[in-house]
């Protein structure tokens, strides 16, 4: 279950008033990129709810959500790029990314290449370790990382923000919709992963001929 639910986060954001609602959501999303134990999708949905309740504009909130996600993810990537594998020695990083987990993520990059960055957007709990590992490697440039992350975010961010806006007046129903949406996203991710596995398996067999 989520550590923070939608009503709690909406109440927290609304305390900042109309003028700072965008800043509150933006700042939270950046911190989510660094491992803040608040699900990113719940933060985005709560931003949409704020818009539905009149604290913000839903289209501007979508832009703020995209910016917060990209700034947070990009910062994590650059942290890995600047410090390299020494980043594993930073205390708060070491809590999320152990040497064993770091090695496993590197293996995924070897198997699936840069697609790992795209898929990480839909895998809560694995985003930060994957983006940090991507930064420490020379497998992907910052701009290519940003492009893939933006491509994935352009799919997920509007779903959560506009879903929050749609269900702002009925939070109980909204929680159900979010749960269903999460299941759908994971199902689609599973299909994508299966497709990539089949693709790389066939490619490997052909290259071995």
Lowest average pLDDT, out of 66-75, 134-143, 160-169, 192-201, goes to 192-201
Kindly report the number of other CB atoms within 10 A of residue 72's CB atom: 25
17 or 31: whose pLDDT is higher?
Answer: 31
Torsion, CA 50, CA 74, CA 110, CA 144, rounded to 10 = 100
On the question of pLDDT at 12 being above 90, the answer is: no
What is the predicted pLDDT for the residue at 100? Answer: 83
What is the predicted pLDDT for the residue at 11? Answer: 78
For 147-174, what is each residue's pLDDT tens digit? 999 999 998 899 899 988 888 877 666 7
pTM: 0.79
């Amino acid at each position: 279950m989520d550590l923070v639910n939608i009503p709690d986060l909406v109440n927290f954001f609304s305390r900042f008033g109309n003028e700072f609602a965008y800043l509150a959501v933006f700042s939270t999303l950046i911190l989510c990129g660094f491992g803040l134990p608040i699900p990113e999708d719940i933060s985005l949905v709560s931003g949409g709810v704020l818009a539905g309740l009149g604290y913000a504009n839903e289209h501007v909130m979508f832009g703020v959500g995209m910016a917060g996600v990209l700034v947070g993810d990009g910062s994590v990537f650059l942290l890995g790029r600047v410090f390299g594998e020494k980043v594993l020695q930073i205390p708060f990083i070491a809590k999320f990314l152990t040497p064993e987990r770091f090695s496993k993520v590197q293996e995924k990059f070897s198997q699936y290449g840069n697609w790992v960055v795209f898929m990480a957007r839909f895998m809560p709990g694995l985003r930060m370790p994957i983006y940090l590992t991507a930064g420490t490697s020379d497998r992907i440039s910052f701009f290519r990382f940003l492009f893939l992350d933006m491509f994935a975010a352009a799919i997920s961010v509007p779903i959560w923000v506009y879903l929050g806006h749609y269900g702002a007046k009925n939070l109980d129903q909204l929680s159900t919709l979010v749960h269903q949406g999460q299941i759908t996203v994971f199902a689609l991710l599973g299909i994508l992963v299966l497709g990539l596995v089949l693709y790389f398996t066939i490619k490997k067999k052909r290259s071995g001929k």
